[in-house]
Amino acid sequence: MTQAWAEKLLAGDRLALARAITWVENEDERGFSLLQAVFPHTGKAWVIGLTGAPGAGKSTLLMRLAEGFAAEGLRVGVVAVDPSSPFTGGALLGDRVRWQRRIQGDVFFRSLASRGRLGGLSRAAYDAIRLMDAAGRQVILVETVGVGQAEVDIMHAAHTVVVVLAPGLGDDIQANKAGIAEIGDLFVVHKADREGAEEAARHMRTALGLSPEARGRREGYTPPEEGGPAWFPPVLLVSSLPGKERGLEALLQALRHHRRYLEEKGLFKELTADEDRRRMEEVLSEGALKWVMDLAKEDGTLDEVLAALRRRDLDPRAAARRILARVGGEKKVP
């Protein structure tokens, strides 16, 4: 069965892709078997992440980018991570709310529930990206759930990270703090038709210019013939509002320039490998925790340690070390 589904997926079958993503999101072994079968055919797609605070207009901007890439004849995939219902675990927004009008061109859209996961992405997001990659999606746009300063998982899942800001959301203050402002390859002051957009862009440029490495560097791409390839994150003013569109083509061009920069520097494949390693470490961490807890439960160590915790005879760190010592045997406990 896996081989038949793999052949359909590699042929670009949309039903097979939808089914495969559902399987991995539900942690169905069929999805993981299928992912393993098609993995050798991945690593080709350009993954662009959009992140930023709630209310910045990420969904609207993502739709316009999908339109732009599809108009070029590219096969586009979209992964949108939504807040989860605390009762069902399902996405609260979902495809029909986000995607309110039909887009011309080949675009495959899928929303995923965050399911309580911090960091802006869901556990299934990486696997969904790889499945879309295997199915021939050339550009994959990934929208995180609305994030704060420290939720930066997208930098480990995308080649190009777009940080979306908006006037009136306090972004001029956020731009001067550590966290999300440090991961962007491009910064977009969205809703640029609103008052305060120019000021927000100036604050962002000032924040980026505080870095010693940034002094004297112009925004965007420097080609090899001018001393590059080099990249300094541009700050772009964009409006997606119908009738007040601004800066969309400039954003698409800046994204193309970043792709060219990554390829010229040899970073495109390197970033893809880093994404795969990150996913391996995540699965390993989750699996190792379950394995250790299962062993500790089997030999009674877990009950013993939990009882000591309740009596306050052990603190949490000492409790964890005791479990590791029992499970690890003679090996040194970290």
On the question of pLDDT at 94 being above 50, the answer is: no
Residue 231's pLDDT is 93
Q: Is CATH 3.60.15.10 what the domain over 42-265 is classified as, yes or no?
A: no
- Rounded CA-CA distance 178/36 in Å is 37
- Residue 119 has what pLDDT? 43
Is the distance from CB of 84 to CB of 116 less than 8 angstroms? Answer: yes
Residue 156's pLDDT is 84
Tell me the two tokens of residue 121.
Answer: 């992405």
Model pTM score:
0.85
143-162 pLDDT, tens digit per residue, is 987 655 445 678 888 999 99
pLDDT band for 48, please (50, 70, 90 cuts).
Answer: very high
Q: Reduced to 3 states, what is the DSSP secondary structure of residue 19?
A: helix
Res 47 pLDDT > 70: yes
How is residue 240 written in tokens?
Answer: 């997606």
Helix (H) or strand (E) holding 38: helix 29-38
The residue-averaged pLDDT of 75-79 equals: 96
The Cα 74–Cα 256 span in angstroms is 13
* Residues 6 or more apart in contact with residue 228 via CB below 8 angstroms: 221, 222, 261, 264
212 pLDDT exceeds 70? Answer: no
If one counts every other C-beta atom within 10 angstroms of the C-beta of residue 162, the result is: 31
What is the residue-wise DSSP string for 256-312?
A: HHHHHHHHHTTHHHHHHHHHHHHHHHHHHHHHHHHHHHHHHHHTTHHHHHHHHHHHT
Average pLDDT, the chain: 84
